[in-house]
Protein backbone atom coordinates (compact mmCIF):
# COMPACT_ATOMS: atom_id res chain seq x y z
CA UNK A 1 0.00 0.00 0.00
CA UNK A 2 2.84 2.39 0.82
CA UNK A 3 4.62 1.58 -2.42
CA UNK A 4 1.51 2.22 -4.52
CA UNK A 5 0.87 5.46 -2.61
CA UNK A 6 4.44 6.54 -3.30
CA UNK A 7 3.94 5.89 -7.00
CA UNK A 8 0.61 7.73 -6.91
CA UNK A 9 2.33 10.69 -5.20
CA UNK A 10 4.85 10.84 -8.06
CA UNK A 11 2.10 10.59 -10.67
CA UNK A 12 0.14 13.41 -9.01
CA UNK A 13 3.30 15.53 -9.03
CA UNK A 14 3.74 14.88 -12.74
CA UNK A 15 7.01 13.00 -12.14
CA UNK A 16 5.85 9.52 -13.16
CA UNK A 17 3.17 7.76 -15.21
CA UNK A 18 1.06 4.67 -14.61
CA UNK A 19 1.85 3.78 -18.22
CA UNK A 20 5.53 3.22 -17.39
CA UNK A 21 5.78 1.64 -13.96
CA UNK A 22 9.09 -0.05 -14.71
CA UNK A 23 10.58 3.30 -15.59
CA UNK A 24 9.14 4.97 -12.49
CA UNK A 25 10.46 2.23 -10.21
CA UNK A 26 13.92 2.52 -11.71
CA UNK A 27 14.13 6.31 -11.88
CA UNK A 28 12.66 6.95 -8.43
CA UNK A 29 14.02 3.92 -6.56
CA UNK A 30 15.70 6.04 -3.86
CA UNK A 31 12.55 8.11 -3.22
CA UNK A 32 10.29 5.06 -3.11
CA UNK A 33 12.65 3.18 -0.79
CA UNK A 34 12.66 6.10 1.64
CA UNK A 35 8.89 6.60 1.29
CA UNK A 36 7.95 2.99 2.02
CA UNK A 37 10.23 2.87 5.06
CA UNK A 38 9.33 6.25 6.56
CA UNK A 39 5.86 7.36 5.39
CA UNK A 40 2.95 6.23 7.55
CA UNK A 41 -0.33 5.42 5.83
CA UNK A 42 -2.42 8.60 5.90
CA UNK A 43 -6.10 8.73 5.03
CA UNK A 44 -8.89 11.14 5.90
CA UNK A 45 -12.18 9.88 4.48
CA UNK A 46 -14.58 12.82 4.44
CA UNK A 47 -17.48 10.56 3.38
CA UNK A 48 -17.58 9.30 6.99
CA UNK A 49 -19.03 12.70 7.92
CA UNK A 50 -22.22 11.56 6.16
CA UNK A 51 -22.57 8.85 8.80
CA UNK A 52 -21.41 11.11 11.63
CA UNK A 53 -23.84 13.98 11.02
CA UNK A 54 -26.93 12.26 12.51
CA UNK A 55 -24.83 11.33 15.54
CA UNK A 56 -23.81 14.94 16.14
CA UNK A 57 -27.39 16.12 15.69
CA UNK A 58 -28.74 13.45 18.04
CA UNK A 59 -26.50 14.47 20.97
CA UNK A 60 -26.61 18.24 20.49
CA UNK A 61 -28.27 19.99 23.43
CA UNK A 62 -28.63 23.40 21.75
CA UNK A 63 -25.41 24.97 23.00
CA UNK A 64 -22.54 25.83 20.65
CA UNK A 65 -20.29 22.82 20.16
CA UNK A 66 -16.69 22.54 21.36
CA UNK A 67 -15.30 19.77 19.11
CA UNK A 68 -12.20 17.69 19.75
CA UNK A 69 -11.27 14.93 17.29
CA UNK A 70 -8.80 12.20 18.19
CA UNK A 71 -6.63 11.16 15.24
CA UNK A 72 -8.05 13.67 12.73
CA UNK A 73 -5.30 13.37 10.08
CA UNK A 74 -6.01 16.59 8.13
CA UNK A 75 -9.20 17.46 10.04
CA UNK A 76 -11.64 17.07 7.15
CA UNK A 77 -14.29 15.59 9.45
CA UNK A 78 -13.83 18.41 11.95
CA UNK A 79 -15.56 20.61 9.37
CA UNK A 80 -18.61 18.37 9.06
CA UNK A 81 -21.02 21.29 9.50
CA UNK A 82 -19.65 22.99 6.37
CA UNK A 83 -20.81 20.25 4.01
CA UNK A 84 -24.21 19.57 2.48
CA UNK A 85 -25.93 16.25 3.18
CA UNK A 86 -28.65 14.27 1.45
CA UNK A 87 -30.61 11.33 2.87
CA UNK A 88 -33.81 9.69 1.67
CA UNK A 89 -35.61 11.40 4.57
CA UNK A 90 -34.28 14.89 3.91
CA UNK A 91 -31.24 17.11 3.59
CA UNK A 92 -29.06 19.18 5.89
CA UNK A 93 -26.62 22.05 5.40
CA UNK A 94 -25.74 24.20 2.41
CA UNK A 95 -22.02 23.65 1.83
CA UNK A 96 -20.34 23.41 -1.57
CA UNK A 97 -19.57 19.71 -1.10
CA UNK A 98 -22.60 17.40 -1.05
CA UNK A 99 -22.31 14.03 0.69
CA UNK A 100 -24.82 11.24 0.13
CA UNK A 101 -24.86 7.47 0.25
CA UNK A 102 -26.95 4.35 0.64
CA UNK A 103 -29.05 5.01 3.74
CA UNK A 104 -30.36 1.49 4.20
CA UNK A 105 -32.02 2.71 7.39
CA UNK A 106 -32.11 6.53 7.20
CA UNK A 107 -32.07 8.98 10.08
CA UNK A 108 -35.53 10.34 10.93
CA UNK A 109 -36.63 13.48 9.13
CA UNK A 110 -37.13 15.31 12.42
CA UNK A 111 -33.48 14.83 13.35
CA UNK A 112 -32.39 16.54 10.14
CA UNK A 113 -34.37 19.63 11.10
CA UNK A 114 -31.98 20.38 13.96
CA UNK A 115 -29.43 23.14 13.51
CA UNK A 116 -26.11 23.51 15.33
CA UNK A 117 -23.30 26.02 15.70
CA UNK A 118 -19.65 25.20 16.32
CA UNK A 119 -17.71 27.40 18.73
CA UNK A 120 -14.36 25.64 18.38
CA UNK A 121 -12.82 22.73 16.50
CA UNK A 122 -9.55 21.06 17.54
CA UNK A 123 -7.79 17.85 16.60
CA UNK A 124 -4.73 15.99 17.85
CA UNK A 125 -2.78 13.46 15.80
CA UNK A 126 0.64 11.85 15.93
CA UNK A 127 1.27 13.11 12.40
CA UNK A 128 -1.31 15.75 11.40
CA UNK A 129 -1.48 16.58 7.71
CA UNK A 130 -1.42 20.20 6.59
CA UNK A 131 -3.52 20.24 3.42
CA UNK A 132 -2.92 23.96 2.98
CA UNK A 133 0.44 22.83 1.61
CA UNK A 134 0.85 21.12 -1.75
CA UNK A 135 2.68 18.23 -0.12
CA UNK A 136 -0.07 17.63 2.44
CA UNK A 137 -2.84 17.74 -0.13
CA UNK A 138 -0.94 15.41 -2.46
CA UNK A 139 -0.13 13.04 0.42
CA UNK A 140 -3.80 12.46 1.25
CA UNK A 141 -4.68 11.96 -2.40
CA UNK A 142 -1.81 9.50 -2.85
CA UNK A 143 -3.31 7.06 -0.34
CA UNK A 144 -6.57 6.86 -2.31
CA UNK A 145 -6.53 4.20 -5.02
CA UNK A 146 -5.86 6.02 -8.28
CA UNK A 147 -8.86 4.50 -10.09
CA UNK A 148 -11.34 5.69 -7.42
CA UNK A 149 -11.98 8.95 -9.26
CA UNK A 150 -15.19 9.89 -7.41
CA UNK A 151 -13.49 9.45 -4.06
CA UNK A 152 -10.51 11.52 -5.21
CA UNK A 153 -12.76 14.32 -6.46
CA UNK A 154 -14.65 14.35 -3.16
CA UNK A 155 -11.36 14.56 -1.27
CA UNK A 156 -10.11 17.42 -3.43
CA UNK A 157 -13.27 19.43 -2.88
CA UNK A 158 -13.07 18.86 0.88
CA UNK A 159 -9.45 20.02 0.87
CA UNK A 160 -10.47 23.26 -0.83
CA UNK A 161 -13.09 23.84 1.88
CA UNK A 162 -10.56 23.17 4.64
CA UNK A 163 -8.11 25.60 3.07
CA UNK A 164 -10.57 28.49 3.46
CA UNK A 165 -10.53 28.16 7.27
CA UNK A 166 -8.48 25.21 8.63
CA UNK A 167 -9.24 23.67 12.01
CA UNK A 168 -6.63 23.80 14.77
CA UNK A 169 -4.55 20.63 14.58
CA UNK A 170 -1.99 19.63 17.20
CA UNK A 171 0.79 17.08 16.95
CA UNK A 172 0.94 14.66 19.84
CA UNK A 173 -0.23 11.48 21.52
CA UNK A 174 -3.89 12.03 22.33
CA UNK A 175 -3.89 9.36 25.03
CA UNK A 176 -1.29 11.38 26.93
CA UNK A 177 -2.62 14.84 26.06
CA UNK A 178 -6.37 14.28 26.49
CA UNK A 179 -6.66 15.24 30.20
CA UNK A 180 -5.00 18.61 29.59
CA UNK A 181 -7.00 19.26 26.42
CA UNK A 182 -10.28 18.61 28.22
CA UNK A 183 -9.40 21.05 30.99
CA UNK A 184 -9.49 23.84 28.41
CA UNK A 185 -13.23 23.71 27.74
CA UNK A 186 -15.04 26.90 26.81
CA UNK A 187 -17.77 28.22 29.05
CA UNK A 188 -21.28 27.88 27.67
CA UNK A 189 -20.41 25.19 25.13
CA UNK A 190 -21.14 21.48 24.79
CA UNK A 191 -17.97 19.39 24.62
CA UNK A 192 -18.04 16.60 22.03
CA UNK A 193 -15.00 14.37 21.64
CA UNK A 194 -15.04 12.02 18.64
CA UNK A 195 -12.94 9.59 16.64
CA UNK A 196 -13.29 7.36 13.59
CA UNK A 197 -11.02 4.38 12.85
CA UNK A 198 -8.33 5.61 15.26
CA UNK A 199 -8.73 3.92 18.65
CA UNK A 200 -8.93 0.53 16.90
CA UNK A 201 -5.14 0.65 16.73
CA UNK A 202 -4.73 1.19 20.49
CA UNK A 203 -4.15 -1.32 23.25
CA UNK A 204 -6.96 -1.89 25.73
CA UNK A 205 -5.04 -0.02 28.42
CA UNK A 206 -4.86 3.11 26.28
CA UNK A 207 -8.60 2.97 25.56
CA UNK A 208 -9.27 2.68 29.28
CA UNK A 209 -7.13 5.77 29.87
CA UNK A 210 -9.20 7.70 27.34
CA UNK A 211 -12.45 6.82 29.10
CA UNK A 212 -10.89 7.64 32.48
CA UNK A 213 -9.87 11.07 31.17
CA UNK A 214 -13.40 11.69 29.84
CA UNK A 215 -14.93 10.68 33.15
CA UNK A 216 -12.56 12.92 35.11
CA UNK A 217 -13.20 15.89 32.81
CA UNK A 218 -16.95 15.49 33.23
CA UNK A 219 -16.55 16.72 36.82
CA UNK A 220 -16.47 20.19 35.24
CA UNK A 221 -19.61 19.48 33.21
CA UNK A 222 -21.19 16.76 31.08
CA UNK A 223 -19.56 15.77 27.82
CA UNK A 224 -20.13 13.32 24.97
CA UNK A 225 -17.84 10.85 23.20
CA UNK A 226 -18.81 9.69 19.69
CA UNK A 227 -16.77 6.77 18.42
CA UNK A 228 -16.68 4.09 15.76
CA UNK A 229 -16.01 0.50 16.77
CA UNK A 230 -16.00 -3.03 15.46
CA UNK A 231 -19.28 -4.37 14.08
CA UNK A 232 -20.25 -7.48 12.15
CA UNK A 233 -19.95 -5.46 8.97
CA UNK A 234 -18.65 -1.92 8.86
CA UNK A 235 -18.25 0.28 11.95
CA UNK A 236 -20.61 0.60 14.85
CA UNK A 237 -21.46 4.21 15.61
CA UNK A 238 -21.51 4.58 19.39
CA UNK A 239 -22.02 7.42 21.84
CA UNK A 240 -20.98 7.56 25.50
CA UNK A 241 -22.33 10.16 27.89
CA UNK A 242 -20.32 11.39 30.86
CA UNK A 243 -20.27 11.56 33.85
CA UNK A 244 -22.42 8.42 34.10
CA UNK A 245 -20.54 6.63 31.28
CA UNK A 246 -23.69 5.21 29.73
CA UNK A 247 -23.28 4.09 26.12
CA UNK A 248 -25.58 3.32 23.23
CA UNK A 249 -25.24 2.26 19.63
CA UNK A 250 -26.68 4.81 17.24
CA UNK A 251 -26.20 2.74 14.10
CA UNK A 252 -23.74 1.04 11.78
CA UNK A 253 -21.84 2.68 8.93
CA UNK A 254 -19.65 1.46 6.10
CA UNK A 255 -15.88 1.68 6.73
CA UNK A 256 -15.69 4.61 4.30
CA UNK A 257 -19.16 5.96 5.06
CA UNK A 258 -20.77 4.72 1.85
CA UNK A 259 -23.84 3.26 3.63
CA UNK A 260 -25.69 3.85 6.87
CA UNK A 261 -28.07 1.81 9.01
CA UNK A 262 -29.37 4.27 11.57
CA UNK A 263 -30.61 2.71 14.80
CA UNK A 264 -29.24 -0.71 13.82
**232 DSSP 8-state letter:** S
Mean pLDDT of 70-96: 98
Beta-bridge mates of residue 191? 66, 223
The structural architecture, per CATH, of the domain 48-129+165-262 is 3-Layer(aba) Sandwich (3.40)
pLDDT of residue 184: 85
DSSP H/E element including 121: strand 118-125
| Whether residue 138 has pLDDT greater than 90 | yes
Chain-centroid distance, C-alpha 246: 23
Average pLDDT, the chain: 97
* pLDDT tens, residue by residue, 12-50: 999 999 999 999 999 999 999 999 999 999 999 999 999
Sequence ranges of the domains in the chain: 2-38, 48-129+165-262
Contacts of 246 (CB under 8 A, 6+ apart): 240
Task: Report residue 264's pLDDT band, with 50, 70 and 90 as the boundaries.
Answer: confident
pLDDT of residue 232: 85
* pLDDT tens, residue by residue, 209-246: 999 999 999 999 999 999 999 998 999 999 999 999 89
pLDDT of residue 81: 98
Mean pLDDT of 144-148: 97
Of 104, 47, 110, residue with least CA distance to 80: 47
Beta-bridge mates of residue 93? none
| Whether residue 180 has pLDDT greater than 90 | yes
Amino acid sequence: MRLLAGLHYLVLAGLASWEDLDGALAEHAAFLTRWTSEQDVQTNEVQRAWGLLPAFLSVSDGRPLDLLELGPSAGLNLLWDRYRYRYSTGSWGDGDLQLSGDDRVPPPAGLLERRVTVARRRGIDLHPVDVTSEHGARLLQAFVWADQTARLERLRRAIEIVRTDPPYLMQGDYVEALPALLRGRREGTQVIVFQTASTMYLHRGSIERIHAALHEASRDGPLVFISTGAAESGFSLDVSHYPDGSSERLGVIDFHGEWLEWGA
